[in-house]
DNA sequence: ATTACTGTATTAACATATTGATACAGTGAA
DNA sequence: TTCACTGTATCAATATGTTAATACAGTAAT
């Protein structure tokens, strides 16, 4: 089971349902959970974490909307076979990157300087 | 006066104090307000926008912490002479960019793909 | 049909963030 | 000092976001 892979920091300002989402996303991205592999049921995970089932349900519902997992009453949830494609992910990232650029413009930084900063960032990456 | 340059959308989910901050930042970035130029007083702006003085005060206080403006009781606020330097802005942007990269990693997108997406983004910019 | 699991929906409790009401304190000019 | 303006601090009202309590409904095996 993947229960041991999921850890929550209850003192963090990041809401629990959000931490659950991130955990599951990591687990699927790392291919620990492959297509159609079952997730712990809502009640199983909620009692393991000692939290309300609704909190897990919210995380699962949003992951389902993001096409990362799928599920049905009586059957549980499982890693989706239609996980977001590379192309879909890139579209989502472009959206995020746009917001980043807007922030830069808000700060009065020219696109050229942003470009240069990013080049440097990747160059210095190890 | 720069009152006419400031417009707030009260139906937006973005809080009013945040919108005020962005407005002022734009005005200063565009050099409409130069070093030591006075801003409207807290009460002047709050009555112009028909909102509580505290909301404007919060915006001004945070802008002051970001060194974008400065002020004193009895004197009002003015555009700071020590506006964040280009270097300081870049440091702040690097921080934002790091968060962006983390999101990408969370989504399971390789740094190479991110790099490629960004190159394309700048290439297609007009 | 019964049982024992699944997910879902509704409502309330609670925490946090945002805005407002109001009183207080600093500055400088008359 | 007095006045008319500044910003500041404290607390309450409100809106929003998060989690919990609880009851409901779907699925499959017996």
The tens-digit pLDDT sequence of chain A (126 residues) is 899 999 999 999 999 999 999 999 989 988 899 999 999 999 999 999 999 999 999 999 999 999 999 999 999 999 997 777 888 889 889 988 998 998 888 777 888 899 999 999 999 874
**pLDDT at residue B126, as a whole number:** 45
Contacts of B64 (CB under 8 A, 6+ apart): B70, B71, B77
What whole-number percentage of chain B has pLDDT above 90? 68
Domain A3-79 has CATH 3.40.50.1370: no
Spanning CA of A13 to C1' of D18, the rounded length in angstroms is 11
What average pLDDT does the segment B93-110 reach? 86
Contact criterion met (CB below 8 Å) for B19 and B8: yes
The predicted pLDDT at position B119 comes to 94
pLDDT for res A126:
45
Of A37, A40, A45, A50, the closest CA to residue A10 belongs to: A50
Q: Strand, helix or coil at B59?
A: helix
Q: Where are the domains of chain B?
A: 3-79, 86-124
What whole-number distance in Å separates Cα of residue B122 and Cα of residue B78? 36
Mutate to test the interface with B, among A67, A118, A124 (most CBs of B within 10 A): A118
- Give the residue among A108, A110, A95 at the shortest CA–CA distance from B100: A95
Interface mutation vs chain B, best among A22, A62, A69, A93, most B CBs within 10 Å? A93
Q: Name the token pair of A126.
A: 């190890």
CB within 8 Å: B111 and A121:
no
Q: Cβ(B51)–Cβ(B6) under 8 Å?
A: no
List the B126 CA – D18 C1' distance (angstroms). 42
pLDDT of residue A34: 93
Quickly tell me which residue has 């494609």 as its tokens: A85
Distance, in Å, from the CA atom of B109 to the CA atom of B11, rounded to the nearest integer, reads 35
Quote the tokens at residue B27.
Answer: 């005005």
Q: For position A59, what pLDDT does the model report?
A: 98
- To the nearest whole number, what is the mean pLDDT of chain B? 91
Mean pLDDT value of segment B83-110: 85
- Split at pLDDT 50, 70, 90, the class of B22 is very high
User: Are A55 and A100 in contact, with CB atoms under 8 Å apart?
Assistant: no
pLDDT at residue A121, as a whole number: 92
Alpha helices (H) in chain A, listed in sequence order: 16-29, 42-49, 53-65, 86-106, 111-124
Reported confidence tier of residue B109, pLDDT bands at 50, 70, 90 = confident
How much is the pLDDT for B69?
96
Q: What residue is closest to C16 (Cα–C1')? A: A13
Contacts (Cβ under 8 Å, ≥6 apart) of A62: A17, A21
Q: Of B24, B108, B98, nearest to B67 (Cα)?
A: B24
DSSP state of B37: P
Average pLDDT over residues B25-53: 94
- Asked if residue A41 keeps its beta carbon closer than 7 A to nucleic acid strand C, the reply is yes
Cβ of A108 and B22 within 8 Å? no
**C-beta neighbour count of B65 within 10 angstroms:** 9
CA dihedral B114, B117, B119, B121 (to 10 degrees): -130
**Side-chain half-sphere exposure of B96, counting CA atoms within 13 A:** 21
* Structure tokens that stand for A81 in this block: 């076979």
Our CA angle for B91, B109, A90, nearest 5°, is 90
At B116 the pLDDT is 93
State in Å, rounded, how far the first CA of chain A is from the last one: 34
């Amino acid at each position: 089971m993947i229960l041991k892979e999921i850890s929550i920091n209850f003192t963090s300002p990041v809401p629990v349902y959000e931490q659950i989402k991130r955990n599951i996303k990591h687990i699927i991205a790392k291919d620990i959970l492959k297509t159609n592999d079952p997730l712990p049921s809502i009640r199983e995970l909620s009692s393991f974490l000692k939290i309300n089932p609704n909190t897990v349900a919210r995380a699962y519902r949003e992951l389902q909307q993001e096409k990362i997992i799928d599920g049905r009453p009586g059957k549980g949830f499982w890693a989706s076979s239609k996980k977001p494609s590379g192309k879909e992910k890139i579209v989502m990232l472009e959206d995020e990157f746009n917001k980043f650029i807007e922030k830069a413009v808000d700060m009065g930084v020219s696109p050229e300087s942003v470009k240069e900063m990013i080049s440097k960032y990747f160059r210095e990456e190890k």
